[in-house]
């Protein structure tokens, strides 16, 4: 069945794309060229989405409309995903970031358009990725608009997320798939979803969310990290006893290799947990991970890592721009919490990463259907999303840009 969308919406999107940064009353025109460039690409991505939704025959699956941009397929066509996909919230997150930095109602309206269809996820107890989906959308929206409905959606999302917590293990379960392979898998990425729980604890006054988040972070710190401070991707637990069963690196080169995006998740996750708890053990862990990444002998000169630090064909391996974008944003935040000597080093590395992302890895104007960055790697072992734009790289790049702008003003 051919998907039809409101033609007026499409016309408005095209007009706004053409006008790009015509500002509205109360808004401010961005003066950073990287922010301008990002806005131009995001407008193009809105147009690309509308074009695809309006012209392409694609059956809807279970009524969950695929409307959220994730990547490009091998032919260069836009890949849209439904709300249940873990990447569904990153595009709205980008749009909210643009609204927060400019005050332009175009970005607000666009962010709302790609946020509110995610409300169904507040009851999705089959995913651990609630933070990725809900904090980037309703969380950003609530922060910027004060919409009480957004608050209620976030609280329910946190309630749903903690149903996946196992007290015996001390962790929130990650995947439900591959039950023949794992009993109770916990992935390092799951650290990112704890921010929702910290928010819920502050907002509601209920310490259960805080306690689960802290326990998950401590358990992960105990079991995910090797002696060199690199981390495994997956730790599988015995659901009955809480004992560690095995340790894997599902999206990396091998179980004992250092998957670069996993290291970036660890850096960002423990920096965030320190921000929320002020417990020095988490700051120490973030510093250890930062040291591992920045001293990594297989790190390229431009600090944009290969998809795995131990991939066998380095230097002829794909890069993962998303890992660099996540790490850059994390380093800007980590620099706020450390001594002056460490701060200088973190900022120098973050600035170098950001500069290289902004020169060598940006999409050409009007290219890549509007994604801001190219050259990310989703999962090379599964031949999935290799050397393509991926929306979470754009989100963390934009977040890094705004953190850099704030840092430069300090």
Burial of residue 103, with CB atoms counted within 10 A of its CB: 0-12 exposed, 13-18 middle, 19 or more buried: middle
81: in domain: yes
CA distance 323 to 270: 15
| pTM (predicted TM-score) | 0.92
- Residue 280 belongs to some domain of the structure: yes
Q: What is the mean pLDDT of residues 254-261?
A: 98
pLDDT tens-digit series, residues 190-208: 999 999 999 999 999 999 9
Q: What is the mean pLDDT of residues 267-275?
A: 98
Residues 395/328, Cβ–Cβ less than 8 Å: no
CATH of the domain at 131: 1.50.10.10
Please check whether residue 73 lies inside any domain of the structure: yes
Q: Are strands 234-237 and 244-248 parallel, antiparallel or unpaired?
A: antiparallel
Q: What share of the chain is helix, strand, coil (3-state, %, to 5)?
A: 55, 10, 35
3 state SS for 110-160: HHHHHHHHHHHHHHCCCCCCHHHHHHHHHHHHHHHHCCHHHHHHHHHHHHH
Instruction: Assess if residue 328 is contained within a domain.
Output: yes
- pLDDT confidence of 127, banded at 50, 70, 90? very high
Q: What is the pLDDT at residue 31?
A: 79
Would residue 91 count as lying in a domain? yes
Domain that holds residue 272: 7-409
- The percentage of the chain sitting over the pLDDT mark of 70, rounded to a whole number, equals 91
Residue 87 within any structural domain of the chain: yes
Sign of CA dihedral 304, 307, 309, 311: negative
pLDDT for res 118: 98
Whether 55 has a pLDDT exceeding 50, the answer reads yes
Would the pLDDT of 19 be above 70?
no
At 12, is the pLDDT very low, low, confident or very high (cuts 50, 70, 90)? very low
Which string of b and e fits 327-366 if b means at least 16 CB within 10 Å? bbbbbbbbbebbeeeebebbbebbbebbebbbeebbbeee
Number of domains in the chain: 1
- pLDDT bucket at 58, cuts 50 / 70 / 90: low
List, for residues 382-405, the tens digit of each pLDDT value. Answer: 999 999 999 999 999 999 999 999
Question: 4: exposed, middle or buried (C-beta count within 10 Å: 0-12, 13-18, 19+)?
Answer: exposed
- Per residue in 326-356, pLDDT tens? 999 999 999 999 999 999 999 999 999 999 9
Q: What is the pLDDT of residue 96?
A: 98
Active site residues: 129, 189
Going by C-beta distance under 8 Å and a sequence separation of 6 or more, which residues neighbour residue 364?
Answer: none
Within-domain flag for 1 = no
Residue 2 counted as domain residue: no
Whether the predicted pLDDT of 241 surpasses 50: yes
Per-residue pLDDT averaged across 288-304, rounded?
98
| Whether the predicted pLDDT of 30 surpasses 90 | no
């Amino acid at each position: 069945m051919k998907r039809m969308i409101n033609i007026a919406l499409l016309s408005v999107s095209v007009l706004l794309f053409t006008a790009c940064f015509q500002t509205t009353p109360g808004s401010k025109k961005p003066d950073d060229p990287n922010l301008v460039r990002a806005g131009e690409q995001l407008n193009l991505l809105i147009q690309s989405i509308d074009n695809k939704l309006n012209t392409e025959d694609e059956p809807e699956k279970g009524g969950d409309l695929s409307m959220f941009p994730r990547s490009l397929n091998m032919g260069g066509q836009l890949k849209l995903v439904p709300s249940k996909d873990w990447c569904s919230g990153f595009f709205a997150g980008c749009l909210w970031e643009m609204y927060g930095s400019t005050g332009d109602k175009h970005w607000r309206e666009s962010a709302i358009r790609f946020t509110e269809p995610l409300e169904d996820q507040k009851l999705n107890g089959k995913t651990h990725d609630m933070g990725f989906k809900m904090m980037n959308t309703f969380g950003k929206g609530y922060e910027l608009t004060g919409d009480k409905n957004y608050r209620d959606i976030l609280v329910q999302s946190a309630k749903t997320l903690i149903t996946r917590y196992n007290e015996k293990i001390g962790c929130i379960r990650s995947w439900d798939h591959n039950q023949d392979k794992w009993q109770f898998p916990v992935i390092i990425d799951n650290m990112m979803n704890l921010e929702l729980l910290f928010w819920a604890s502050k907002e509601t006054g209920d310490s259960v969310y805080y306690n689960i988040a802290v326990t998950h972070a401590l358990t992960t710190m105990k079991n995910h990290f090797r002696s060199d401070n690199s981390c495994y991707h997956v730790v599988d637990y015995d659901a009955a006893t809480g004992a560690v069963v095995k340790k894997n690196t599902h999206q990396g080169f091998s179980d004992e290799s250092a998957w670069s995006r996993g290291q970036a998740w660890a850096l960002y996750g423990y920096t965030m947990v320190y921000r929320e708890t002020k417990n020095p053990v988490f700051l120490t862990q973030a510093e250890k991970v930062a040291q591992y990444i920045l001293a990594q002998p297989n790190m390229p000169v431009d600090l944009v890592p290969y998809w795995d630090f131990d991939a066998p064909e380095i230097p002829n391996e794909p890069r993962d721009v998303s890992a660099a974008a996540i790490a850059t944003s994390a380093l800007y935040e980590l620099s706020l919490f450390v001594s002056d000597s460490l701060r200088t080093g973190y900022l120098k590395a973050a600035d170098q990463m950001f500069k290289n992302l902004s020169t060598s890895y940006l999409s050409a104007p009007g290219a890549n259907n509007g994604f801001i960055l190219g050259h990310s790697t989703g999962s090379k072992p599964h031949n999935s999303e290799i050397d393509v734009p991926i929306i979470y790289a754009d989100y963390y790049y934009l977040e890094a840009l705004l953190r850099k702008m704030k840092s430069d003003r300090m």
